[in-house]
């Protein structure tokens, strides 16, 4: 999609979410004004914009699906949109990457992909504002959007942080998709895996690393193996 | 005749946090009723917190709201600290106060200028205002950005800050951090007066209905993270006493619970804070009140907008005081060690939208066995309904579209945050 000739029409929506990822869009500040020179927001409840439109060039959706109405809303938006972005971990994984309520979740939450086709994902809980900005520009300009598949760990090493595993902490950095500049380890906290599994995540190796250091292995780690195999499957299907 | 005529039904009120419908109904006898219907799906419930490690529960609790995330994180952390009897080092507490203040100001800016201000200029949103009031809008954006810079520097992430942990902060800070933050707040000080005055100079609808006002009080400041819970002109409560005094009502039409105190609705938020703590408002802000003839206690809910604008000034100055104190110290103790133990902890704080209470019980391994979170918006819903009724009666002779706009403005002046409010209804 190259949309430079006319300003692409963009809608920003939220389903069940905390709106933190939309706040991260507001947090772009000046950069947001630059973005508004390139795109036209035609629908956003949070911004109070509701223009008439037949279709959207780009739908940006935050949040997961928790009710029949939200499902209908999502399908309706998908039908009217050329490109759809899942914004933040709620939209990407129904916040399961972050919440880890993988096994016995008392609530039934669905990610966007479980209901409609998703063209791009912006991971994280919350998203990284700059990554959002770059990706939207790339999409709008018709450039190839490159998903970083490096891990949080590889970024952490670049920053020369002391490794938290050596301090006995449960860091998921080795199996988590990078792109956040190893935000948590750089602030003295173990990675919680909010950006989801990296493509080549080796969960068993991490479990072993925990065991070797006497770090209690969190229960959800083996459940993550399940998520990984689902993800691998999905990717294979997409590439076929 | 039992048929009801719905006089007014406002769907998905725009420029607020989350999804809220408001119906105002007049029945055949002329009785007016209002219904605040919070619609958000119950994404996170207390049940999700139960079973998690205390520190995971804090992270999850923070995800209730992307606007008042900082205060949720800090309040949950304080509640856990109370459960484990942890005393946070003074330095760390001051850094946390700064995060809290920056989050508070940021939330107010978002509400007042991104959400509420367009109303007063007859605009639908801030982008429309950009053409006409470019300089002002750019200043607002700048101001908001400065708060983002502050939280990013000491919180790690501008949304859902990372550094506050049980015992203090996960990261050690130094003098250069304090210098950086001080510069940001000085820059803010140069902007807040003018930006706040654009709000304070506006004409608010003339409407007043006295209700019960509740906020934290410590008789020396306008506290955000510490203090007793005060009911204006009546009494102080400890958090425990207050939890026993309020009554939770599950209305069929709302995903968020409603609350009463002494069988009556009550209001929390900036207006209540100033109604109770006006003597401690900094003199710079008091002077402005005199200039614009704004008096507290004040019973006009629209004045909540003014109270928020005054708080932006107040807390900018307060942050500079805290930073001065930090600058006079040589190094900062960021954390204290503690032992996880079985226990119960409550913390009451002032979120931008008002009184917020987190209560947790944890077992001997630090796992949450019970969680209870009372959000400001949920506490305000009943009072909001009653104000809608009273205000509707006052303006019922005006054309329907004007009534709708005005009721919407009233709702918005409460700065409701439905994302928070609906999260914690038990399934
Ligand atoms: S991904 Fe996280 S920050 Fe974003 S909306 Fe969901 S809970 Fe909020
Ligand atoms: S702290 Fe975590 S992310 Fe950083 S190197 Fe160690 S395991 Fe990797
Ligand atoms: S370090 Fe891990 S938990 Fe933290 S932001 Fe990055 S991916 Fe998310």
> If one looks up domain A9-140 in CATH, what number appears?
3.40.50.700
Looking at chain B, the whole-number percentage of residues with pLDDT higher than 90 is 62
Q: How far is B357 from chain A (nearest CA, A)?
A: 18
Q: Is there a contact between A23 and B40 if contact means CB atoms under 8 Å apart?
A: no
pLDDT for the residue A105: 53
The residue whose CA is least distant from atom 3 of ligand 1 is A126
Q: Which helix (H) or strand (E) holds A57?
A: strand A56-62
pLDDT in tens, A188-223: 999 999 999 888 888 899 999 999 999 988 877 877
Q: Name the band, by pLDDT with cuts 50, 70 and 90, for residue B402.
A: confident
Residues B75 and B226: their CA atoms lie apart, in Å, by 10
Which one-letter DSSP state was computed for residue B115? I
A184 CB near ligand 3 (under 6 Å) = yes
Which of A11, A6, A7 is CA-nearest to residue A52?
A11
Residues A232 and B283: their CA atoms lie apart, in Å, by 62
User: Which of B62, B64, B66, B73 to mutate for ligand 1's pocket (most ligand atoms within 8 Å of CB)?
Assistant: B66
Delineate the domains of chain B, giving CATH numbers in brackets: 4-421 (1.10.645.10)
Residues A205 and A237: their CA atoms lie apart, in Å, by 26
Which ligand is in closest contact with the Cα of A125?
1
pLDDT for the residue B5: 53
pLDDT in tens, B7-32: 777 776 666 666 677 888 887 777 88
Q: Name the band, by pLDDT with cuts 50, 70 and 90, for residue A229.
A: confident
pLDDT for the residue B427: 27
Ligand 3 atom at shortest distance from the alpha carbon of A183: 1
Which residue in B has a C-alpha nearest to residue A68's C-alpha? B41
pLDDT in tens, B267-320: 999 999 999 999 999 999 999 999 999 999 999 999 999 999 999 999 999 999
Q: List CB contacts of B29: < 8 A, sequence separation 6 or more.
A: none
pLDDT for the residue B421: 52
Tokens of A191: 């990675």
CB B359 within 8 A of CB B188: no
pLDDT for the residue B396: 86
Cα A100 to averaged position of ligand 2 atoms, centre (Å): 19
Q: Is there a contact between A23 and B14 if contact means CB atoms under 8 Å apart?
A: no
Looking at the predicted structure, is the pLDDT value of residue B85 above 80? yes
Residue given tokens 């996880």 in the structure block: B340
Residues B155 and B161: their CA atoms lie apart, in Å, by 5
Looking at the predicted structure, is the pLDDT value of residue B3 above 80? no
Q: Is there a contact between B160 and A126 if contact means CB atoms under 8 Å apart?
A: yes
Q: What are phi and psi of A63, to 5 degrees?
A: 100, 165
Which residue in B has a C-alpha nearest to residue A164's C-alpha? B170
Which one-letter DSSP state was computed for residue A87? E
Looking at the predicted structure, is the pLDDT value of residue A43 above 50? yes
- Share the mean pLDDT of chain B: 89
Q: List CB contacts of B128: < 8 A, sequence separation 6 or more.
A: B118
Q: Is there a contact between A16 and B67 if contact means CB atoms under 8 Å apart?
A: no
| Cβ neighbours of A46 in B, within 8 Å | 14-15, 17
pLDDT in tens, A48-66: 788 899 999 999 999 988 8
Q: Name the band, by pLDDT with cuts 50, 70 and 90, for residue B237.
A: very high
Tokens of B354: 């008002």
Average pLDDT over residues B339-362: 96
pLDDT for the residue A40: 92
Average pLDDT over residues B204-223: 95
Q: How many helices (H) and strands (E) does chain B have?
A: 15, 14
| Cβ neighbours of A107 in B, within 8 Å | 42-45, 47-48, 427
Which of A127, A95, A132 is CA-nearest to residue A111?
A95
CA distances from B79 to B36, B56, B344, B371 (A): 30, 14, 8, 11
Provide ipTM, 2 decimals. 0.89
Which one-letter DSSP state was computed for residue B53? B
Q: Please report, for chain A, the start and end positions of each structural domain, with discontinuous segments joined by +.
A: 9-140, 152-233
A20 → closest Cβ in B44, B69, B165: B69
pLDDT in tens, A5-20: 578 999 999 888 888 9
Average pLDDT over residues B81-86: 97
Looking at the predicted structure, is the pLDDT value of residue B189 above 90? yes
Looking at the predicted structure, is the pLDDT value of residue A104 above 60? no
Give the Cβ contact number of residue B6 at 10 Å: 10
Tokens of A209: 């690393």
Q: Is there a contact between B60 and A64 if contact means CB atoms under 8 Å apart?
A: no
| Cβ neighbours of B56 in A, within 8 Å | 100
Residues A211 and A213: their CA atoms lie apart, in Å, by 5
Q: Which helix (H) or strand (E) holds A83?
A: strand A81-87
Give the helix ranges, DSSP H, for B46-174: 46-49, 54-62, 69-83, 90-109, 117-120, 126-132, 134-155
pLDDT in tens, B109-166: 988 887 778 777 878 778 788 888 889 888 999 999 999 999 999 999 999 999 999 9
Helix (H), strand (E), coil (C) string for B318-371: HHHHHHHHHHCCCCCCCECCCCCCCEEEEEEEEECCEEEEEEEEECCCCEEEEE
Question: Is 0.90 surpassed by the pTM of this model?
Answer: yes
Cα B73 to averaged position of ligand 1 atoms, centre (Å): 14
pLDDT for the residue B132: 83
How far from the centroid of its chain's Cα atoms is residue B422's Cα? 15
Q: Is there a contact between B41 and A66 if contact means CB atoms under 8 Å apart?
A: yes
Residues B268 and B296: their CA atoms lie apart, in Å, by 15
Q: Name the band, by pLDDT with cuts 50, 70 and 90, for residue B385.
A: very high
Residues A213 and B144: their CA atoms lie apart, in Å, by 44
Which ligand is in closest contact with the Cα of B423?
1
Q: Would you tell me which residues 71-110 of chain A have a C-beta closer than 8 angstroms to some C-beta of chain B?
A: 90, 95, 98-101, 105-107, 109
Which of B101, B3, B153, B29 is CA-nearest to residue B314?
B101
Looking at the predicted structure, is the pLDDT value of residue B2 above 60? no
Q: Are strands B20-26 and B5-10 parallel, antiparallel or unpaired?
A: antiparallel
A164 CB near ligand 2 (under 6 Å) = yes
Residues B363 and B84: their CA atoms lie apart, in Å, by 11
Tokens of B383: 């009072």
Q: Which helix (H) or strand (E) holds A238?
A: helix A220-239
Q: Is there a contact between A105 and B48 if contact means CB atoms under 8 Å apart?
A: yes
pLDDT in tens, A133-142: 999 999 998 8
- Give whichever of A88-102, B68-82, B248-262 has the largest mean pLDDT: B68-82
Residues B226 and B375: their CA atoms lie apart, in Å, by 17
| Cβ neighbours of B156 in A, within 8 Å | 183-184, 186-187, 189
Tokens of B269: 């938020």
pLDDT for the residue A238: 66
Which of B405, B417, B291 is CA-nearest to residue B354?
B417
Q: Name the band, by pLDDT with cuts 50, 70 and 90, for residue B4.
A: very low
Looking at the predicted structure, is the pLDDT value of residue B423 above 50? no
**Residue A14, beta-bridge partner list:** A62
CB B32 within 8 A of CB B58: no
């Amino acid at each position: 999609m190259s949309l430079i000739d006319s300003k692409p029409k963009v809608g920003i929506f939220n389903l069940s979410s905390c709106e933190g990822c939309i706040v991260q869009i507001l947090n772009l500040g000046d950069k947001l004004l630059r973005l508004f020179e390139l795109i036209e927001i035609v629908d956003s409840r949070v911004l109070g914009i509701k223009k008439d439109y037949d279709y959207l060039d780009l739908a940006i959706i935050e949040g997961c699906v928790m009710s029949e109405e939200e499902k209908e809303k999502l399908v309706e938006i998908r039908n009217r949109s050329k490109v759809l972005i899942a914004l933040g971990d709620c939209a990407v994984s129904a916040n399961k990457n972050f919440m880890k309520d993988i096994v016995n979740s008392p609530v039934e939450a669905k990610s966007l992909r479980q209901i409609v086709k998703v063209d791009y994902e912006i991971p994280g809980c919350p998203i990284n504002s700059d990554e959002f900005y770059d990706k939207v520009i790339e999409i709008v300009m018709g450039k190839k959007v490159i998903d970083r598949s490096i891990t949080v760990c590889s970024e952490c090493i670049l920053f020369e942080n002391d490794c938290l595993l050596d301090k006995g902490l449960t860091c998921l950095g080795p199996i988590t998709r990078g792109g956040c500049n190893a935000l948590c380890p750089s602030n003295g906290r173990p990675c919680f895996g909010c950006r989801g599994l990296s493509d080549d995540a080796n969960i068993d190796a991490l479990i072993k690393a925990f065991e070797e250091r006497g770090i209690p292995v969190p229960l959800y780690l083996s459940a993550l193996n399940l998520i990984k195999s689902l993800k691998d499957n999905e990717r294979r299907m997409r590439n076929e | 005749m039992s048929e009801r005529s719905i006089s007014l039904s406002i769907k998905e009120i725009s420029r607020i946090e989350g999804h809220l419908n408001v119906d105002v109904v007049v029945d055949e006898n002329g009785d007016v009723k209002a219904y605040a219907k919070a619609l958000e799906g119950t994404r996170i419930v207390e049940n999700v917190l139960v079973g998690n490690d205390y520190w995971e529960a804090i992270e999850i609790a923070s995800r209730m709201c992307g606007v008042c995330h900082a205060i949720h994180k800090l309040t949950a952390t304080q509640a856990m600290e109370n459960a484990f009897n942890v005393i946070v080092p003074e330095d760390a507490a001051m850094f946390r106060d700064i995060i809290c203040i920056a989050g508070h100001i940021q939330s107010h800016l978002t509400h007042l200028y991104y959400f509420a201000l367009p109303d007063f200029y007859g605009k639908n949103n801030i982008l429309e205002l950009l053409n006409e009031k470019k300089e002002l809008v750019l200043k607002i954006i700048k101001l908001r950005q400065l708060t983002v810079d502050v939280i990013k520097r000491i919180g790690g992430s501008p949304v859902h800050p990372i550094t506050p942990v049980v015992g203090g902060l996960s990261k050690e800070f130094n003098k250069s951090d304090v210098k950086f933050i001080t510069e940001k707040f000085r820059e803010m000080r140069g902007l807040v007066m003018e930006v706040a005055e654009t709000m304070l100079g506006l004409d608010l609808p003339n409407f007043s209905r006295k209700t019960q006002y509740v906020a934290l009080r410590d008789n020396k400041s306008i506290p955000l993270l510490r203090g007793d819970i005060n009911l204006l002109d009546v009494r102080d409560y400890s958090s425990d006493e207050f939890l026993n005094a309020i009554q939770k009502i599950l209305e069929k039409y709302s995903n968020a619970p409603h609350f009463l105190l002494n069988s009556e609705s009550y209001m929390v938020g900036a207006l209540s804070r100033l109604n109770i703590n006006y003597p401690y408002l900094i003199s710079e802000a008091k002077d402005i009140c005199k200039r614009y003839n704004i008096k507290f206690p004040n019973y006009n809910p629209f004045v909540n907008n003014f109270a928020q604008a005054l708080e932006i000034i107040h807390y900018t100055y307060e942050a500079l005081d805290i930073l001065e104190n930090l600058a006079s110290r040589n190094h900062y103790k960021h954390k204290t060690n503690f032992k996880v133990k079985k226990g119960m902890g409550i913390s009451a704080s002032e979120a931008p939208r008002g009184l917020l209470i987190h209560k947790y019980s944890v077992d001997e391994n630090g796992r949450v066995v019970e969680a209870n979170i009372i959000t400001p918006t949920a506490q305000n819903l009943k009072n909001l309904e009653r104000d809608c009724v009273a205000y509707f009666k006052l303006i019922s002779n005006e054309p329907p579209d004007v009534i709708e706009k005005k009721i919407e403005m009233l709702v918005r002046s409460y700065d409701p945050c439905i994302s928070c409010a609906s999260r914690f209804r038990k399934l």
